[in-house]
Each structure stands twice: as structure tokens, then as C-alpha cells.
A and B are shown apart, each in its own frame.
Chain A
Amino acid sequence: MTNETINQPIEGDPDDMAVAPRIEGHSAAVAPADAKPILEVDGLRMYFPVKSPGLIRRTVGHVQAVDGVSFQVAEATSLGLVGESGCGKSTTGRLITRLYEPTAGAIRFEGQDIAHARAGELKPLRREIQMIFQDPYTSLNPRQTVGSIVGAPLVIHKVLPKDKILPRVQELLEIVGLNPEHYNRYPHEFSGGQRQRIGIARALTLQPKLLVADEPVSALDVSIQAQVINLLQDIQNEFGVAFLFIAHDLAIVRHFCPEIAVMYLGKIVEIGDRESIYTNAHHPYTQALLSAVPDVKQAAAGGRLERIRLQGDVPSPINPPSGCRFRTRCPIAQEICARHEPPLLQIGRKHKVACHFPGRLGEAPREPLTAGLLGVDSEGRPDPGASPSTDLVEQPGYADTWFDLDNKSIGRA
């Protein structure tokens, strides 16, 4: 039944739709098992200094925007980063494109650490990693024509001689579903969805291997969102681009990304493949996020579902709570959560969770699972009898063995 949906017979406004590539198959939505990681982020930290007012601007604190984040993005697939505003997902994206220099940690792109690369070293890198911005109204220069916006990367990187640039720009406009004749128009002559296509064309100009898409559709109308998401999937299929897809809309991330990381206050609280996160979430924050999404179908069946109500707001990242950062809003928090930060524990082939009491909704264990590993008792006090586990170092990828919570044993790949 589902295969019927692939072909879409609709042809709309020729200006906007007709030239968009139509590709069958959906490798975008599935992760190949043996894909090599193209990007590896290890213990990434970004602390922004907070300065005191006045003449002598002393540093009085730090906004811990990103605090020890590790993940991998495999070639030609997508990793989704979700979380509330202020959780550090956009900062992570900007660190990877090196719009910021990280405070600590490594960003390995194709094996090369680019975390502290200098400007000269970064220039060739810009060809490989590009970014799509959220707001199509502010990310295009209003005084430049579409042709010069999309062609600028070619000029800067001296990829093509001047007379070859225009044909390439027109080709790119065609790829993103715009009329190639419109290269000499200005951004204000286009609608929001078309502008976002211009932004995508610009990002594609240098044929990057990794695209960081920071909320690429949240500024668009719903009917246009679907057009842009389909375009991004087509691009991924055709050019094999890997995506770091940053969004707060859980349904769109689920649709686009085979692997998802959930962030809260600068840390990854749960990361895993689509199945693990959406049907087998073990972190109370992921569960609360999922239950908060309003759903058309559920209401059509009648009434609202009981949802997990998170109290209050996200705490300040300048002075985050001790131990587990989610504990101030967590429905199952206990003593140990205030004393120790939960390690990101692998609990499935492709599923890691950072919680002392990981479990499916309503099945969270009574005793902290992590106490033995951390060498403490169940309330988080140091336990002289227990020895802390030494192999709790967080790695970007997944290990071959994991803690199988259902069978209380060690699982193996």
C-alpha cells in the first residue's frame, strides 16, 4: 500500500515545480548498515563567556551552550538533532561549520580534526561542509541577484572560469526546482519557499559532502515545508550528501533522519536509530517531548491524550543543575540524580541513553542502574564496596557490546 505514494502525479506552477527532479526510492530515510562515518564529533564543548558590565569587562561566568557532545554522521545519511530552544543544537551546527571555534573537543571530518583549524586551513574545508539557514528572509543578501548569490562560492574558490559560472548557476537553480531564467532577479521577488530553495542551491554549489541544515523548514508554511523536505531528500539521493538536520519538529525529523540525537541543556540525553527513539524511548525527556506533540490522528479519534506534563522551563545554561541536568523537571528524579551525572550508556545496538533510571514509559526501574558503574550506592553516596567501572568513556560511535536492559545481560552485535 505504501509504495503507491512514491510517484506523485501532481504538476503545479511550472515556475516552481516542474523542473524539480523526481527520483524514486528513499535511501534518505534508511541508514545503510556499513556506512563509514564522514563526521565524528568527540566531547565537543562550547562555553561562551559572560562579561560583567562596565569598563573592565571581567568574565563572570560561562554559558555552557554545548557541553560534551559526541556523535557520528555516516556518509550519505542524516543525523537529526532535536531539543527545545536553548539546548545547544544550533550551536553544535555552527561549531561543525566552524562559524565558532569550540572550547574543547574534536571535530573530525574525514579523519582530520578541524576543531582548531586556522582560516587558511578552513577554506578548502568550506567546499566540503555547507550550511542551510533557518530564515530565508535574512540569509540572502537583498542587494545581490540570485545569480551572484548562488555563484559566489564558485568565484571565491576559483572553481570555474568566469564564463562557465552562469551555466552552472542555471543548472543549480534547475536542480532545486527554480526557473533557471530567473538568475538575474533579486531575493525579494521570490516567496519564502523559493528563497529557501535559493539557499539550498547556494549550499550545493560546491558539491559539499556534508550539509548542516539548521531548521530548514520551520519558517515556511506547511504546504511548502513538504516541498522543501522532498527536495532535500532528492538531493541526498542524487548527490549522496550527508545531513546534520537540526530541527525542533519531531515529526519532520523522524521523517527525514534514520538516526536522531535528543539534546537537553547542551548534552545529548538520548541518541539512537529512529525505532529506538520514537518507539522505544528510554529517557524521560524524550518521552515527554514525544507526548507533547499534538497529533491530528489521535484527536480525530476523540479527545486529547494524557500527556506527560513537564513543569517549568529549561534552566539557565550559565548555572545548570548539578548531576543530571534534566532532574529539575524530571518526573522520576531521585537523590542520585542530583549527585551524579548519568553516563551515556549504550543499551541497544544503536541506542544510547543518559539516565540513572532508563526504562520505557511507566517501566522505569526503582533502583538506579548506573550506581554500580559509578561506584556509589543507590542514593549516590560513595560506596566503599563498589568499584567504579573504568570503561565509561563516551565514544562518538556505537560499541559492539551493550547493556541489555530487558534481559539484564550484555548484548552483542
Chain B
Amino acid sequence: MSTTSPSTASTAATRPGPLLSVRELQVHFPTQDGLVKAVDGLTFDLEAGKTLGIVGESGSGKSVSSMAIMGLHRGTNAQVSGEIELAGVNLLDISADEMRRKRGRDVSMIFQDPLSAMHPYYTVGNQIAEAYRVHHSVSRKIAKQRAVEMLDRVGIPTPEKRVNDYPHQFSGGMRQRAMIAMGLINDPGLLIADEPTTALDVTVQAQILDLLQDLQREFNSAVIIITHDLGVVAEMADDVLVMYAGRAVEHGPCKEILTHPEMPYTWGLLSSVPDLSGDTGARLVPIPGNPPSLLNPPSGCAFHPRCPHRDKVPGDLCRTELPLLVPGERGGHHTKRCHLPNPDAIYATEVLPEIAPDLAVERAKEL
């Protein structure tokens, strides 16, 4: 059972503080055309039982950083540096063997597309039981029993029959449930969900989000949920981290970020999705342009070529100098990477009236 090395086990139990602590994480890929800085200096903490939502467009580095936490860049030519401390152990220092013992037990992951994440040739039960037997020396029979229990827990009807089915016999929602069962069978402290509901319909998405929340409460796991859907983040996350071009551009408590965003990129994300009660006569306000190339990122703030507010910053600061991720006007927990001097006022007067006129009126009354 206990196969982890003594050093890791002892520190894990005693050390207080966050479960996961990522410091200055960099993931760089050398390519023929140059160095791709997929993640460039990412720092965040996550406590047990809490949920962190990572939001960003494709290519912003959200999946790459979560793969670094899983240690999935080992054996590739990626250059990973910084610190990823999970329960007091720096995952970047330990050997591949030690990482393998942690993977699935201390940290596990569920993927976006459950059909391609499961092996088509093995039964679902077989794959879930295998995940259990890797970390527990038990017989096949007991492992299978455990797989049935987990399938039952994630809400698969008649699990003792479905455990012998192949992945293609499951529907999309059921496959995602089976993936969750596989991810949680070893009761990991940290679960990374990479776009867990993007491939699913809204009604099934709601089921899966409910299930994830229930299970998180039951197992007290920390969850990182990676998504591009701010609605999902709003429902699930305690903290939100907005990523752009490999860097965190805004980080703070979920409610704070969604009601008082201070970074123009977050404003853009909020204003480019219509919502179910908005004014249909209004135009959507897209973020102009395209996401930048990571081979040759823009100078200064990576968002400046697409930023509609850069002329409000004195001098040519946006183009020349990378802003630091520092606390904004609203206190220490809410950090942002932007030069704008008075973002909350700009948001209230210029952005909010466009995306939510009703809220803007309320806000004006408060002031």
C-alpha cells in the first residue's frame, strides 16, 4: 500500500498551508522556429476542498500548466522550471518513479474528450479497476468491486452490468461519469478537470457539474477546473485565474473577479458572450484581433495589440513594459496584470453599461 518514499509521506501529513502551491512555473518548448513560452511565470495557491477555475482562450497555457502539475511533460523536450509543491513535495524535484506513484493517487485528471481518453479495447470496469490496482495491491475481484462502487457513486444505472461494457457502449455523459469515477477511485487530494463539460450538452453538463460538486464535498479534494466558459467558472469556482499568452493576468475570488474585473481581457471575455437575459438589440462586443503567437509574443503587456483601453495609460507603457501581477484597488486577494490606473471606474462607466445595463444602473445608485 504505502509505496511513497518516507520523506514525502512525513512532510505531507504535518505541513500546514495550501495543498498545492505553484511558484513561477515556466513551461517552454524549444521548436525549430524558436522557443515557445507556453507558460511563463505562473504562480497560485490552492487549498484542500477548494476549487480554482482557470479561464483563457486556446493557446493561453491553461492545459499545458495543468499537464505540468500532472508531470506529463516528463520525457518530452519541454523545459519545465519553477516550483510545483503538492502537500509539501516539489513535484519537479522528484524522480519519474516517485511521480508515477503520485499520479492518480495524490493528483489525478479528467480530460475533455472521454472517448479518446479511454482505451476502446478494454472494458470500462477493467480500466477503472486498473487505476485502483496500480496504487493498491488487491485482487482483481476486489478492484472490480471497487469499480462497481465508484460507478454507482457517480450515478451510472445498474453499475454491476455496465462495468463490463466497453467505452463505445456508454453515452457521452456516462463516459464522462466513468472518467470521474476513474479519477476519484484513489481519493486524490487534487483533481484537475480539463474542460470536463465542453463536449457535453447543457443538460448533461449541469448533471456533471452537480456531480463534481457533490463529490468534492464528499472527498474534500481540491479541484482545478479548466474551461473557457465563464458560466461554468461562475458556478463552480471559489477562485478564478484568468490566463492570457502563458501568464496569469487576473487572479482572485470568483465573485470579486466576476463583479469587479480590473483587466480589459477579462472585460472582453465577459462582454463577448451573450447571456439569457441581455438586450438582444445590442451588439456583442468582441475582443478584436486574434490571440498572439507564443513564438513571438507582443512586447510589454501581451494583450496590448487587442486592448481597447491602452490609450488611457500614460506614455507607451503597455507596449514597452510588462505589468506586474499586483493587487488592484480592491485589496490584496485580487491581483491583476495591467497598467490601467483606475480600472474599476472604467469598468463601471464604460464596460458595464454595454454588457449589463441593469447592473450598471444599480452600481451607479450605490455610488
Contacts and interface: CB of A to CB of B under 8 A. Distances in A.
A215 to B, nearest CB: 12
A279 to B, nearest CB: 9
Nearest to A82: B202
A30 B282 CA distance: 12
A60 interface: no
A278 B290 CA distance: 32
B273 A13 contact: no
Interface in B231-264: 231-232, 234-235, 254-255, 258-259
Interface stretch (A99-107, A113-121, A293-301): A293-301
Contact of A16 (B206, B269, B276, B290): B290
Contact of B270 (A193, A221, A292, A296): A296
Contacts of B278: 255
Given A84-B203, A288-B203, A299-B231, A194 B276 contact: no
Taking each of B206, B259, B270, B306, which has the highest tally of chain A beta carbons within 10 Å of its own beta carbon? Answer: B206
B277 A297 contact: yes
B353 to A, nearest CB: 6
B296 to A, nearest CB: 14
A319 interface: no
Nearest to B206: A292
Interface stretch (A166-174, A244-252, A379-387, A393-401): A244-252
A4 B279 CA distance: 12
A73 B171 CA distance: 33
Interface in A127-165: none
A294 B287 contact: no
A302 B255 contact: yes
Contacts of A10: 285, 288, 308
Interface residues of B, number: 61
Interface string A281-319: 000000011111111111110101001011011100000
Contacts of A309: 206-207, 210
Interface in A51-101: 84-85
Interface stretch (B5-13, B34-42, B77-85, B355-363): B355-363
B319 to A, nearest CB: 15
B354 interface: yes
B289 A17 contact: yes
B291 interface: yes
A248 B308 contact: no
A295 B275 CA distance: 7
Contacts of B308: 9-10
A2 B206 contact: no
A313 B171 contact: yes
A378 interface: no
Nearest to B57: A221
Contacts of A280: none
Nearest to B209: A294
Given A8-B283, A12-B305, A292-B202, A222 B228 contact: yes
B270 to A, nearest CB: 7
Contacts of A16: 288-290
Nearest to A26: B281
Given A16-B290, A254-B274, 19 more contacts: A8-B283, A9-B308, A12-B289, A29-B280, A84-B202, A84-B204, A221-B228, A223-B57, A223-B268, A223-B287, A226-B271, A226-B285, A289-B202, A290-B276, A293-B202, A299-B254, A300-B255, A309-B206, A310-B203
Interface of B: 57-58, 157, 171-174, 201-207, 209-210, 228-232, 234-235, 254-255, 258-259, 268-291, 305-306, 308, 353-354, 356-357, 359-361
